[in-house]
Each structure stands twice: as structure tokens, then as C-alpha cells.
């Protein structure tokens, strides 16, 4: 919980219809099983104390009394667990019976949330027994069910905010206590920012404008659903889609707990189809037709930051937020760090599922090609000019350009692919570049720049043996000049090859590879570039091209500006600036969610556990922040290029940052983390 994570569970216990003692025992058994496991929120199914399929037994006083007695025992069992537990039961309030969710924390009943929408179609006939939730939140007195009393009485309307201690300072059991009753309630943990819980019950999710939409508009970040959704063919897939999409549209965490084995099978079957989703991502899901517990950690900071980033969320929710909400305040006893069990990918830009990855690659290549197609068409370009080095980025740019030409019906011979060997060029990259151009069907053109660069060294009085930044950048700028001039000569555009990772780190020479007429790779991080090239290799159908692409993938990333050592690349980019997989990881969480360095480090320590130690991660993290801030001036004037993912650095689009912004806040936090890591290492 230190980094905004809270562990939540969806639970389907064993159940016997109408046996409240057995069901209560099973709920308590599950609560005890979860205690000590860092779970702070547990959602049980709809009417889980009685069973959902009781039918006309809901009209029996003994069942209703048994439900209240069970709730009293469950409430007592939560004492000392520091867990918010939501369990379902039928509840009489005044003269009506309601399908409700009881919300309990640490031995205290915080309130009841009644079901808003009562289905009475097809296999459902709830309106026979239950009444729709009232519009306003009330205070009710819980009767002493042990004395045979089951009728709760309302004692007045609820205010906008309440601390349970203010309602009843010493709640000694639930009987004769006063608690809130209403749909429009948010349960907020004062010592865990972002923990703002609201509830729906089953059908509430399925209506066109669900209570969840109002809950989110009122500030709820977590929505729990106590459900008893029977299974029919195809319903599970629809249910999963609905839960995932709801969590995405409301930018919330959604915990869906479904009734399972044990409910009556007189006419229906229930599968315990539990789901935990966060902003469109399913974090955990159960195996159907198996009762049990699923859990995962919800990233509250991620959800809050996402709502902050998407400006239309606040304006749209303001339009539907028309109801009076009550906030029930409480506090967790322990808010220490929550160990993560959810998967943290080393490559957040790249899907891990093979089919999803292939689909993503095809989609991205099509988007890149579509952007370039429009630019070529608009400028009436006769050619496209690309510098081909035999490296990953220029290879991807050539692949994309070939696709764009195919879309336009233009001859690939009008792609002018230029190799410009110089001091650092190796035979391996040169031969790969030549083969790549040939197999793609582009026009090969070679301009050896050694003599030209040497003459320029003489012009500026630079010693060729001085392999400083000038030595490297003269080559880079000379190559860009040649490409620009060939484009003028042939009536074409220079296609940029630089990727998102290089743009973020400023790993380009200003007004050299930093510049082009259209940058097709500008929103593709280096880790994703690899998969795009590999995807092309696997799908090309050209065995020679596949072999070349595979060798390009196996070649160390290098600008090849320094002379080779024994014929091999001497200048390896990742040895200089750090592993791209780390930098892409930092970039994703820094840009996408605005996390501070300590949280990025926390996630990285899980994702790269066993691959990089903390000292290595922090070393390159410090370098990332320094370069990201110091190199903004290059990003302030980068060429046009298509946005294809959720992170982009165009000054005209996603990222507007002063070129002279200070990095000190971020750097100081990384330094502190390094000092703490060093201190732990010495113990």
C-alpha cells in the first residue's frame, strides 16, 4: 500500500441454499484464510449469506433472521483482520425487503448498499421479493435478530459525510446499532489515498447507465459487484468483456464476485465467474465452476493519475453527477507495503501473448505506412530517401516505406536506399544493408563519406585521431546532408529512422539523425522495434530477406561512428547509455502514468528480478532522468511523424515541456534510493 497498491479479492464460497449457518461458516472460513495475506478488500457474491436461489423462502421470517444472525457473526469474525468485507443478504427496512450488500471493516458494520435495478425478465423474478433501492441514503437501526426481530427501521436521512465513530462511538456488535443504508455511498479509507469504494449488485452493471457511472463521477475509484449471474452459452465472454470495458470507461478497478457451485440448479447453473479488472486490464479471473478465491493488487495511483491525465473524465462525470452521495470514513490499521503478485512485464510496450503481439505488430506497421502514404501523396513526392545502416531502426523504416509505396501503387524502385560507409562501418552491417535493399526492391545507392568527412576535418582543423564527439557528429551530419540533397535531386522526402527511445534519451546528433522530413519510427520504442522487425522476418515469405532480418536483430545496437576492433563493432550503445529494456520501462511509467522515481523503481525491482540488481537499475535510472530532461531541446523541434501508441513525445501532441526544466526533484529522489540501496547492501 506504500506505493498505492491495495490487494483485493473476489470470493465464491461453498454454499447451501437457505442454510445461513453453513453459509456463514464458509464465509468466515474464507475470511480467516485471507487474513494475514495482505488482502484489504474482499467481495463475496450476491445474497451469499442465504444463497441467491431461495425463491419464495425470502418471504420467510426465519431465513431473514438467520441472515442477520449470520451477518453478526461475520462482522465479529472480521475483527483484527483489517479487511473490508462485502457480503450479500436480504434485509427488511421499514415495510420492504431489499437485496443488499453489507460493508464491514475490522469488526464494524459500516453500512448497507441495496440493489438499484431489480430484474424481472427471462429467468429472473426478483421483483416478486425485492424492492428497488430508495433514492436517498438513510440511517437505519439494526434489530436484534436473536430476539426474533428482523425489521430495520429508518431514523432519518444521512448527511454528506460521516465517520462511523460519530454515528455510534462504541459499536458493540451490529444489533441495535445505527448504520447508513443507500446506493449512493462511498467508503473511503482516510489513510490510503485513492481507496474510495462503492458497490453495485449484479443487474446494476448490465443497465445502460449503471450506478457505477454515478459512483465514479462521485469519486469512487474501486467498484465492487456482488453478483449471482447464471451461466448460459456465450455469457461468460460477454460478462468478461462488460467488466473489462466498464473498468476502462470509468477508469476504475472493478471487482466482480459471482455465485457459484451450491446455488440451486433447479432451472439454472452458476459458475463462480470472478473477475478483477483495472482500467480495461483483467488482473485476475477464476476458473469457472470452481468455488474459491482470486486476488490481485489494484494500483490506486495509476487510476487516480489516469483520471487526472484524461481531462474529459472530470467534465463528463460532472454532467452525470446529479445525486447526493454520502462518504463513510474509516482507516486501515496497517498501511505498510503490499507485496505484488500481479505480473509486471519487463516490456510494457510489447504484448506478451504471441497472438496479441502479432496483431499489434501488424496494426502498427499499417499505421506507420498509412501516415507515410498520406505525407508522400500530399507532397507529390516521386521518391523516398532513406539512409540504410544495417541496423534495426533504418531496417524498420525501409519496411514501412515499402508498405507505403505498395499502398500508393508506386514502384519500390523509387525508394532510394543509401548506404554511407565510413570509419565505423563493419562488413556485417554493410552486407546486411546491401542485401536488405536488394531484397526489398529499392534502388541501391552508395556514397562512401570517408573522403568528404576527412576534408571537413581539415576545414575545421580537427585532428582525425581525436575521437571525441566532434569526430562522431561530423559523420552523422554529413550523412544527413547527403540524404537531404539526394531528396532534393530526386523530388522526394527523407524518411527519418530515429525511434522513441532515442528521442527520449536524446541519443541522436542535433540536426543530423535528429532531423528528417517525416519520422516513421518516432513513437516506436526500441524494445518494440525489435518485435516489429522480427514479425516482418516471420511473415515475409522471402527466405533471403528473413535471414537478413534475423541477422540485423542479432547485431548489437550501435551508431558505428568509431573504428571497429578487429572487424567487429566497438561502439555498443547499451554499454554507453544503458539497456534499452530498462530505459523503455522507465519511459513507460514516467510518461504514461506520471509515477515518481521510487514507484518506478519499485515496479522495476519486480519486473527485472533476477536479471538486474537494484544497484544496476538505479544507475541507469539516474542516467535516464538526466538525459530525458537535458535533451528536451531536441524534442522541441523534431519532425512530423505518426503517433501509434499511448506514449509520444511530439511537442505538437503529447508532450509539452520547457527545454530548460530542472531535473533536480527526480534526480534527488533517485540519489536517495541509491543511498538506501547501498546502505542495505552493507548490512
Catalytic positions, please?
A: 46, 115, 202
Q: How many CB atoms are closer than 10 A to CB 125? A: 13
Taking Cα atoms as reference points, which of 573, 574, 548, 571 lies closest to residue 423?
A: 571
Q: What are phi and psi of 597, to 5 degrees?
A: -55, -35
- Integer Cα distance of 13 and 23 in angstroms: 8
End-to-end CA distance of the chain: 25
Vertex 5: Cα angle to 586 and 271 (nearest 5): 115
Q: How many CB atoms are closer than 10 A to CB 576? A: 11
Cβ proximity of 271 and 288 under 8 Å: yes
What are the beta bridge partners of residue 97? 92
Cell numbers for 681: 547492501
Vertex 53: Cα angle to 228 and 48 (nearest 5): 55
- Integer Cα distance of 319 and 2 in angstroms: 34
Cβ proximity of 6 and 195 under 8 Å: yes
Q: What are phi and psi of 184, to 5 degrees?
A: -90, 65
**91 SS3 class:** strand
Give the containing element (helix H, strand E) for 226: strand 222-227
- With 0-12 CB in 10 A as exposed, 13-18 as middle and 19+ as buried, what is 466? exposed
Cβ proximity of 436 and 453 under 8 Å: no
Q: What are phi and psi of 308, to 5 degrees?
A: -65, -40
Give every CB contact of residue 31 below 8 A, 6+ residues apart in sequence.
42, 74, 77, 78, 81, 83, 85
What are the beta bridge partners of residue 298? 6
**410 SS3 class:** coil
- With 0-12 CB in 10 A as exposed, 13-18 as middle and 19+ as buried, what is 85? buried
- Integer Cα distance of 615 and 330 in angstroms: 39
Helix then strand then coil, % of the chain, to nearest 5: 40, 20, 40
Amino acid at each position: 500500500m506504500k506505493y498505492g497498491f491495495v490487494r483485493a479479492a473476489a470470493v465464491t464460497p461453498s454454499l447451501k441454499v437457505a442454510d445461513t449457518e453453513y453459509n456463514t461458516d464458509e464465509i468466515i472460513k474464507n475470511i480467516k484464510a485471507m487474513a494475514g495475506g495482505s488482502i484489504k478488500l474482499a467481495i463475496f457474491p450476491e445474497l451469499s449469506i442465504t444463497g441467491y436461489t431461495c425463491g419464495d423462502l425470502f418471504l420467510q421470517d426465519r431465513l431473514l433472521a438467520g441472515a442477520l444472525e449470520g451477518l453478526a457473526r461475520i462482522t465479529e469474525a472480521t475483527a483484527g483482520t483489517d479487511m473490508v468485507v462485502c457480503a450479500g443478504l436480504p434485509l427488511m427496512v421499514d415495510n420492504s425487503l431489499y437485496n443488499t450488500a453489507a460493508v464491514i471493516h475490522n469488526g464494524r458494520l459500516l453500512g448497507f448498499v441495496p440493489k438499484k435495478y431489480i430484474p424481472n425478465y427471462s429467468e429472473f423474478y426478483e421483483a416478486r421479493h425485492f424492492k428497488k433501492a430508495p433514492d436517498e441514503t438513510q440511517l437505519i437501526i439494526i434489530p436484534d435478530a436473536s430476539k426474533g426481530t428482523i425489521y430495520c427501521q429508518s431514523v432519518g436521512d444521512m448527511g454528506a459525510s460521516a465517520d462511523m465513530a460519530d454515528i455510534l462511538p462504541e459499536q458493540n456488535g451490529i444489533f441495535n446499532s445505527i448504520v447508513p443504508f443507500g446506493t449512493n455511498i462511498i467508503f473511503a479509507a482516510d489513510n490510503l489515498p485513492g481507496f474510495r469504494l462503492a458497490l453495485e449488485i449484479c443487474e446494476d452493471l448490465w443497465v445502460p447507465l449503471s450506478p457505477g457511472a454515478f459512483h465514479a463521477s462521485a469519486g469512487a475509484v474501486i467498484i465492487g459487484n456482488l453478483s449471482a449471474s447464471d451461466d448460459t452459452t456465450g455469457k461468460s465472454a460477454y460478462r468478461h468483456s462488460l467488466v473489462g470495458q466498464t473498468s476502462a470507461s470509468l477508469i476504475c478497478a472493478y471487482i466482480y464476485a459471482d455465485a457459484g457451485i451450491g446455488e440451486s440448479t433447479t432451472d439454472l447453473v452458476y459458475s463462480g465467474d470472478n473477475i478483477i479488472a483495472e482500467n480495461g486490464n483483467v488482473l485476475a479471473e477464476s476458473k469457472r465452476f470452481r468455488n474459491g478465491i482470486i486476488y490481485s493488487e489494484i494500483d490506486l495511483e495509476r487510476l487516480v493519475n489516469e483520471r487526472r491525465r484524461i481531462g474529459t473524465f472530470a467534465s463528463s462525470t460532472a454532467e452525470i453527477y446529479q445525486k447526493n452521495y454520502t462518504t463513510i470514513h474509516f482507516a486501515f490499521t496497517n498501511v505498510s507495503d503490499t507485496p505484488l503478485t500481479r505480473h509486471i512485464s519487463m516490456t510494457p510496450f510489447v504484448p506478451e501473448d504471441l497472438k496479441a503481439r502479432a496483431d499489434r505488430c501488424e496494426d502498427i506497421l499499417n499505421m506507420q505506412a498509412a501516415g507515410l502514404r498520406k505525407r508522400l501523396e500530399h507532397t507529390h513526392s516521386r521518391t523516398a530517401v532513406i539512409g540504410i545502416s544495417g541496423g534495426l531502426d533504418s531496417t524498420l523504416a525501409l519496411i514501412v516505406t515499402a508498405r507505403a509505396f505498395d499502398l500508393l501503387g508506386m514502384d519500390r524502385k523509387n525508394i532510394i536506399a543509401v548506404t554511407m560507409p565510413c570509419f565505423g562501418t563493419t562488413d556485417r552491417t554493410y552486407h546486411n544493408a546491401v542485401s536488405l535493399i536488394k531484397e526489398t526492391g529499392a534502388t541501391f545507392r552508395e556514397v562512401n563519406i570517408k573522403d568528404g568527412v576527412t576534408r571537413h576535418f581539415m576545414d575545421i582543423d580537427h585532428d582525425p585521431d581525436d575521437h571525441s564527439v566532434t569526430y562522431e557528429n561530423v559523420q552523422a551530419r554529413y550523412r544527413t546532408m547527403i540524404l537531404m540533397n539526394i531528396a532534393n535531386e530526386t523530388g522526394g522526402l527523407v524518411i527519418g529512422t530515429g525511434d522513441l527511445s532515442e528521442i527520449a534519451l536524446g541519443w541522436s546528433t542535433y540536426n543530423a539523425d535528429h532531423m528528417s522530413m517525416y519520422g516513421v519510427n518516432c513513437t516506436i520504442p526500441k524494445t518494440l522495434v525489435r518485435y516489429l522487425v522480427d514479425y516482418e522476418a516471420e511473415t515475409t515469405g522471402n527466405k533471403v530477406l528473413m535471414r537478413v532480418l534475423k541477422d540485423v536483430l542479432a547485431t548489437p545496437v550501435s551508431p558505428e561512428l568509431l573504428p571497429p576492433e578487429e572487424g567487429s563493432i566497438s561502439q555498443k550503445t547499451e554499454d554507453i547509455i544503458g539497456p534499452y529494456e530498462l530505459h523503455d520501462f522507465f519511459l513507460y511509467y514516467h510518461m504514461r502514468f506520471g509515477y515518481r522515481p521510487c514507484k518506478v523503481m519499485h515496479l522495476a525491482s519486480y519486473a527485472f528480478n533476477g536479471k538486474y540488481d537494484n544497484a544496476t537499475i538505479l544507475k541507469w535510472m539516474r542516467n535516464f532522468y538526466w538525459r530525458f530532461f537535458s535533451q528536451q531541446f531536441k524534442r522541441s523541434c523534431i519532425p512530423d511523424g505518426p503517433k501509434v501508441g499511448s506514449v509520444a513525445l511530439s511537442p505538437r501532441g503529447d508532450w509539452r515541456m520547457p527545454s530548460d526544466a530542472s531535473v533536480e526533484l527526480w534526480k534527488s529522489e533517485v540519489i536517495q534510493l541509491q543511498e538506501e540501496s547501498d546502505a542495505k547492501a552493507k548490512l
